[in-house]
Chains A and B, each alone.
Chain A
Amino acid sequence: MPIEILMPALSPTMETGTLAKWLVSEGDTVSSGDIIAEIETDKATMEVEAIDEGRIGKILVADGTEEVPVNAVIAILLEEGEDESALDAAVAKSSGSKDKAAKKTDIPSRDVADDKSDEEQPKATGNESKPDSDSEPEEKAKAPAAPTTEEGERVFASPLARRMAQQAGLDLASVTGSGPKGRIVKADIEDAMGKAVPAAKDQAAAATAPAIGAPDFTPPADVPYDEVKLSGMRKVIAKRMTQSKSHVPHFYLTVDVALDKMMAQRKDLNARLEEDGVRISVNDFIIRACALALKKVPQANAMFAGDKAYMFKRQDISVAVAVEGGLVTPIVRDAGSKGLAEISREMKELAGRAQEGKLVPEDYQGGTFSISNLGMYGIREFGAVINPPQGAILAVGAGEKRAVVVDDAVAVRLMMSVTLAVDHRVMDGAIGADFLKAFKGFIEDPITMLL
């Protein structure tokens, strides 16, 4: 029997992905473990490995096809002894009923059920890309990640409502449920869609319109433009940032931090570490200082959760990394118990993989606090948007020499401004200030970071 190679799910929430590139052609012989294709999602590029061996009989989804539903048949593998005649039946079977993706891509794929039910993992046909965790993603996928409000509460919605919201690009957290105990039902999605359209017409409202990508964003008629299709990552950013800015009450606290001592310390450290090939960056110091400050002020390492708040005992720091077409936030886990060298090494590795689009969901899912550093772009200071459900984000500006008053005299110091954006539901100004005070202390007196 020819084996169907299915579109793998790279994460529990992945529903479609782009088949970036085939690394094999029809007729090629593959054995288990061979990398046969590259798949892209909003966040990452992953390699698809063959698990079974055989000959690629037919490639059904071409290079560069977007929005290939998870579990769609992307190719057919012929086993030993099978020839092309076995293909016809297999191809016919896999194209039993066409669906929207099939239309878009002109490729026979499995029916909607297969596409949409995250449940069926490619395990059986052998292109699971992470063989060592083969049962785990399946488990996770069984319960399609329930959306949460910015408070981190689970959103109750009927399966139909969920699917309709997803199809309409509607954020469930922005929909009011009219079902029992506020459950979101079909009628609510229809309502929300009805409302979203007029809201989107209004330019000012467009930014906060819940239906990102709703059909009514019409450009002015007389201005020439290029139309750029939103990447999956762009859509996720749009959705999450809209949700954050419209639902999380942000406030901002800014302090200036003197970097002179830290820079000296850094120079010294880097000289010592040179032969190990380690170069600690300013950002690494900032990550460590943040983690230690959060350890000292755990109330700032917090998440709002409706009728309660969580104060995290571990400092998992999400660090925004700009990548082609957007940004990702890989996480330095347990940064509070990691030394500078380790943070530096990890960060380099994560940033590298982020650039190559090779992060896996574990790299960026979770995190208790975020850092966004635009210093290298010469930005003096800025306010960042909180990355929900986290409770705060630190926006870091450029280090620059400024005239400051020291002991009643004007002096030149290397200064940096940082702005903490805080979710007011879970923290007040005093806690934010405590955190910043601790952070400033560590940076300005870096020796204390050793304690």
Chain B
Amino acid sequence: MAETKYDLIVIGAGPGGYVAAIRAAQLGLKAAIIEREHLGGICLNWGCIPTKALLRTSEIKHYLDNASDFGLSAKDIDFDLKKVVSRSRKIAGQLNTGVKGLLKKNKVVTIMGEATLKGKGGVSVKADGKTTELQAKNIILATGARARELPHLKADGKLIWTYKHAMTPEVMPKSLLVVGSGAIGLEFASFYRDMGAEVTIVEMMDRILPVEDEEVSAFAKKQFEKQGMKIVLNASVEKVDIKKNSVTATIKGKDGKTETQTFDRMILAIGITGNVENLGLEEAGVKVERGHVVTDEWGRTAATGIWAIGDVAGAPWLAHKASHEGVIAVEKIAGIKGLHPMRKDLIPGCTYSRPQVASVGLTEAKAKEAGYKIKVGKFPFIGNGKAIALGEPEGFVKTIFDEKTGELLGAHMIGAEVTELIQGYVVAKSLETTEAELMHTIFPHPTLSEMMHESVLDAYGRAIHY
């Protein structure tokens, strides 16, 4: 490795880092990327992709369990957990290799090793006991994040899991406690429930999926409960006793009363914390607050020439947000004119549980809080022919418009395949369409997407099919 001077060094090869590095190369910057563990970051290796592989298994199992609804018969439905997990791991591995190829093709220099900031524009990389010193005009921190743990709630990898362990179970727990009801918690809850485990969710807030629209939270709760999950709101896990093959959790409710319950396994999904340690951030003058690097709207940190993107730079912790921040930061570095900072209200969020949840923009409560006078439309899956044909009559699509301008402020969906639908609204919102254009958009029949049309129509009292 002769080359030590670069225009840009990216630390961390997750969806934030590798996309940033490729974009830099496209713009003619000499770019290197340093990764200590796995190309593709959490997303590819331990996040987005492997969980979706697992959820596909549980979804198919759900269909098989209900085969008779479709006039089919399926007997002796069983699974081999090892094969379920290995399918998920294989998919992660396949994509990991893909990223390697993409970096190479774009002439990004990939260096495996642990990176630390060192002096102005300096990065030192430790690998196999050797240290290499590199220099760059700009450095992007894209070191991601890891599961948050609490002093009294620490994962041991055996009985108390974080997502990594939950993704590679050796046995199917009979009973499972999921702490936290954000996207990650619910996806695991959904997977394990459909695979047959008894699932209890404990959430500190007064509703599950606290960042979603309240109606969505309420609807999701009902659906999960119908599936047999137990959901405890306004509650927290105060204490855990680890037994030989089980954990006993002390759960404190709103009223202060505590209850103990024993589970085979427990998953901690109580948020994440940025990988800000051992990077030499303080010496470099990079400001860190509450576990995350502080940046401006372009990704600049407090230290000149050092940028931060993705999970390490704060919420929302989403792969597509990381990638987009990477692109914006690199384009800013390359001096591209007419750039716009990322708008948070244009970042879609998806949860791949059954039912799925997807949203973009403001919730109804947030829109009101922001002072908008709004028009709200809602359309249920039961009014949609395709949903009924699919045997998925549960869910709804909700849209929120600014009454004055017709701006689409937010869209919220719950039900089958909504994670694939939300993009329609994201495009609409990005192009700043108003209700008028959406109303005159032609949606193919029969599709679930027709509900997106109807929801808009409904906001203006014009829904056809409900």
Contact = CB atoms under 8 A, between A and B. Distances in A.
Contacts of B225: none
Interface in B334-352: 338, 340
Interface in B149-171: none
Interface in A144-178: 158-161, 163-164, 167, 178
A163 B434 contact: yes
Q: Which of A97, A113, A186 has the most CB of B within 10 A?
A: A113
B461 A117 contact: no
A263 interface: no
Contact of B431 (A97, A114, A158, A163): A158
A111 B377 CA distance: 13
Interface string B418-438: 000000000000011111110
Q: Which of A111, A114, A160, A164 has the most CB of B within 10 A?
A: A160
B461 A111 contact: yes
Given A111-B460, A159-B436, A160-B433, A116 B375 contact: no
A100 B375 CA distance: 13
Contacts of B214: none
Contacts of A117: 436, 439-440
Interface stretch (B130-138, B184-192, B269-277, B401-409): B401-409
B239 interface: no
A117 B432 CA distance: 15
Given A117-B436, A159-B436, A180-B338, 15 more contacts: A97-B460, A111-B375, A111-B461, A111-B462, A112-B460, A113-B439, A114-B460, A117-B439, A117-B440, A159-B432, A159-B434, A159-B437, A160-B433, A163-B405, A164-B405
Contact of A113 (B404, B433, B435): B435
23 contacts: A97-B375, A97-B460, A100-B404, A111-B460, A111-B462, A112-B403, A112-B435, A112-B460, A113-B406, A113-B439, A114-B460, A116-B436, A117-B436, A117-B439, A117-B440, A159-B437, A160-B405, A160-B406, A161-B432, A163-B405, A167-B405, A178-B338, A187-B340
Nearest to B428: A159
Contacts of A119: 436, 440
Nearest to A99: B403
A113 B338 contact: no
A116 B436 CA distance: 7
B435 A185 contact: no
Interface in A101-121: 111-114, 116-117, 119
A96 interface: yes
A397 B437 CA distance: 49
Nearest to B431: A158
Contacts of A99: 403
A158 B432 contact: yes
Contacts of A163: 405-406, 434
A112 B406 CA distance: 8
A97 B405 contact: no
Contacts of B461: 96-97, 111
A158 B433 contact: yes
A175 B260 CA distance: 64
Main secondary structure, interface of A, reads helix
Nearest to B343: A187
Contacts of B432: 158-161, 185-186
Given A113-B439, A159-B436, A167 B404 contact: yes
A340 to B, nearest CB: 48
Contacts of B431: 158-159
Nearest to B433: A159
Q: Which of B340, B403, B436 has the most CB of A within 10 A?
A: B436
Contacts of A100: 404
A158 to B, nearest CB: 3
B434 A160 contact: yes
A96 B459 CA distance: 11
A119 B442 CA distance: 14
A308 B375 CA distance: 45
Nearest to A116: B436
B327 to A, nearest CB: 14
Interface string B390-408: 0000000000000111110
Interface string B225-247: 00000000000000000000000
Contacts of B338: 178, 180
A185 B407 CA distance: 12
A111 B460 CA distance: 6
B457 to A, nearest CB: 8
Contacts of B436: 113, 116-117, 119, 159
Contacts of A187: 340
Nearest to A94: B461
A167 B403 CA distance: 13
Interface in B183-238: none
Contacts of A113: 406, 435-436, 439, 460, 462
A161 B407 CA distance: 10
Nearest to B457: A113
B331 to A, nearest CB: 13
Contacts of A186: 407, 432
Contacts of A116: 406, 434, 436
B118 to A, nearest CB: 39
B58 to A, nearest CB: 41
